[in-house]
Amino acid sequence: MDKGIFITIEGGEGAGKTTLIDRLAHTMQERGRKMMITREPGGIPIAEQIRAVILDKQNTAMDSKTEALLYAASRRQHLVEKVLPALQQGYMVICDRFVDSSIAYQGYARGLDVEQIWSINRFAIGEMMPSLTLYMDIPPEVGLARVRKASEQDDREVNRLDLEANSFHERVREGYLKLTADFPDRIVKIDANRPEDAVFYEILSIIDERCAGNDIMSVKKDNEG
């Protein structure tokens, strides 16, 4: 039986992750690949309930450490209940966000200690990390304009993170760029400020190249510690 492949898609608000993942799922299924798409926070009932708390626009009083802990709790349940079983059955799992989101959002953007965020998440996920992470990079002002347009067309609900100041989203991007520089073997930066087809076909090519052997299920966090 083939081992599963764990791929994560990261990016700031409005980067186009959802559209991309839907296209990837369709393409892989057409190829006959066992495929599962999921998301964080969420993906299973318990994690979806935590997601509702995290993203509720009414919860503006949420403490940054509370937020970080909720993400980690959701991540743990999602991992053991959905992701790991799928990988063990040989699925390609593509997940919208994983641990890098916590580092970028709660670490760099919220100003929490980055090593403490890693520590919380090490407890949650152990040594389980993606084989490949695709970071969709886009200027925050472009991404947020996409969010506003989609919300006006009722294609996307505005959540608590969308309401943060532009400076917050700039720090998120800086965090992702730092992670990309720190872990080049795992994270590939994609220019998402281009036509959808250009982004999609570049990412499809990268997945085909990096996962050709289908011999890696997961890797430890690069340069852990």
- Asked if residue 8 belongs to a known ligand binding site, the reply is no
Return the pLDDT at 220: 35
> What pLDDT shows up at residue 155?
66
Q: Give the pLDDT band (50/70/90) at residue 218.
A: very low
Give per-residue pLDDT as tens, 171-189.
999 999 999 999 999 999 9
How confident is the model over 104-156, as pLDDT tens digits? Answer: 999 999 999 999 999 999 999 999 999 999 999 999 999 999 988 887 777 66
Per CATH, which fold does 5-210 belong to?
Answer: Rossmann fold (3.40.50)
- The pLDDT score that the predictor gives to residue 150 is 84
* 14 annotated ligand binder: yes
For residue 2, the model assigns a pLDDT of: 57
Q: Does residue 224 carry a pLDDT above 70?
A: no
Q: Find out whether 12 is annotated in a ligand binding site.
A: yes
pLDDT tens for 27-57 read: 998 999 999 999 999 999 999 999 999 999 8
Q: Please check the confidence at residue 217 and state whether its pLDDT lies above 90.
A: no
pLDDT classification of 101: cutoffs 50, 70, 90? very high
Q: pLDDT value at position 83?
A: 97
Return the domain boundaries, the chain: 5-210
pTM: predicted TM-score of the whole model, two decimal places: 0.88
pLDDT of residue 25: 92
Q: Mean per-residue pLDDT for 16-24?
A: 94
pLDDT at 214: 52
- Annotated binding residue 11: yes
The pLDDT assigned to 156 comes to 67
The pLDDT value given to residue 212: 74
What is the structure's pLDDT at 126? Answer: 95
Whether 130 and 219 have beta carbons less than 8 Å apart is answered as: yes
Q: What is the mean pLDDT of the chain?
A: 90
What is residue 23's predicted lDDT score, i.e. its pLDDT? 95
CB atoms within 10 A of CB 218: 18
